[in-house]
Homo-oligomer: A and B are copies of this chain.
Amino acid sequence: MSDKYQGFVSSPIGKLLVKNLGLPNPTKLERYEAGDPLVDGTVLVGGTGRLAESLPGLLDVLGIASATTAGESQRFKGLVFDATGLKDSTELVALRDFFTPLLRSLEDCPRVVVIGTPPELVKGPERVAQRALEGFTRSLGKEIGKGGTVQLVYVAEGAEAGVSSTLGFLLSPKSAYVSGQVVRIGVHGKAEVTEVADQTQPLAGKVALVTGASRGIGESIARTLHRDGAKVVGLDVPQAASELQALMKELDGDWLTLDISGDDAPQRIAHHLTEKHGGVDVVVHNAGITRDRKLANMSPNDKGDRWAQVLGVNLTAPERITRELLDQGVINAGGSIIGVASIAGIAGNVGQTNYAASKAGVIGLVDSLADELADGITINAVAPGFIITQMTAAVPFATREVGQRLNAMAQGGLPIDVAETIAWYANPASSLVNGNVVRVCGQMMLGA
């Protein structure tokens, strides 16, 4: 499951070939290990807007060192620019004036965050200027190199204090494979900003349900939520029972085996969570299947109905389970519901009309519930790009290589990259992060 190409290009002969043939040369991405500081270096903060003044204090609470001016030959691990003060298109030049002199002073795997005002919440020339930020950050993400990431965080007026967990995620190695993304804070729903007592155990005392938890991305999600303090309830199909039990025993968790597309699955899950745990705080709809076939060949046959299977497991099941848990009040106040969409659900993919429809539907589920949920419950989704798992190891070599290289980081992501993004959503301090679909794709060329 390791990226052999990346190993190859860092070998002496590989380096020679990369240089002479112009092969992609992926940077080894830094990733977070339990116990690490969130940011290993200094973050320079600039701009003039609603957040500029409070940013150093917010970062300090997270244990992140910051500066507001650049000393000569000083190097930075991250740059945060508050662009909420830009009121029309002529003022956008402030972006160039801030970034251009700093881009040669960045360490490896640098982090850039631009903070704006959600365009849809303002009017006229300010809306134009704020919308322009998206073209800027997506371009910078494609050219920054060195394993760097660039994000745009739109913060609604009044939601400034709710940005902390998002900065912690986007400035740290936890977001290694997340780039070119647009995050909205405080736009959907109404919630209070929640503080977390222990930054390293934000989920202490919380119960997290993870479907498809026995291996791959689901296993990584379970491990990461456990690392962050949660009691994990792993769910998988009966055939995966032994793997699931072994993992959940290791994580001091609980388990449940059933087919989520079964008629009585929502009731059984609700019953289990209520009886054994008194409710649930985090619900991760990770289980999913593919049954690829071009639409012209998608008729049901004796092997089953590829359309119905994929839509049933990937979309209808998470919908029904979510509604049942909400209707019965099983999800605790301040909880979070997290869907797993896909690049294919955003950009479409050959042979995946069924899968892409199901994953676009997951985005619809997020949109549908984000404005309706009560009690500070949030709903968000991740949309993975090319993530290296046992499933992708089965993809033919050439297709896999193209899929892995066609992104700004010229490499595939790891299950942990998806898991860290989910842990950010699950963090109680992300109470104003609602209605987002964030791609974990190394800023893949596929899809905006």
Contacts of A136-172 to chain B: CB distance below 8 A = 136-143
Say yes or no: is A391 at the interface (Cβ < 8 Å to chain B): no
* Distance A141 CA – B350 CA, assembled complex (angstroms): 8
* Distance A127 CA – B323 CA, assembled complex (angstroms): 14
Stretch at the interface among A4-12, A58-66, A117-125, A252-260: A117-125
Assess A127 versus B296: contact at CB under 8 Å? Given A139-B352, A316-B89, A348-B140: no
Assess A135 versus B295: contact at CB under 8 Å? Given A129-B361, A361-B89, A367-B120: no
Say yes or no: is A280 at the interface (Cβ < 8 Å to chain B): no
Chain B residues within an 8 Å CB radius of A139: 295, 344, 348-353, 355-357
How large, as a class, is the contact surface on chain A?
35 or more
Is A345 a contact partner of B295 (Cβ separation < 8 A)?
Answer: no
* Distance A306 CA – B120 CA, assembled complex (angstroms): 29
Q: Which residue of B lies closest to A96 (CB)?
A: B307
Chain B residues within an 8 Å CB radius of A137: 348
* Distance A135 CA – B354 CA, assembled complex (angstroms): 8
Is B307 a contact partner of A99 (Cβ separation < 8 A)?
Answer: no
Additional A-B contacts beyond A135-B353, A138-B348 (6; CB < 8 A): A100-B298, A103-B295, A129-B361, A138-B346, A139-B351, A141-B348
| Residues in chain A within 8 A of chain B (CB atoms) | 88-90, 92-93, 95-96, 99-101, 103-104, 119-120, 123-125, 127-143, 180, 294-299, 307-308, 311, 315-316, 319, 344-361, 363-365, 367-368, 372, 406, 443, 445-448
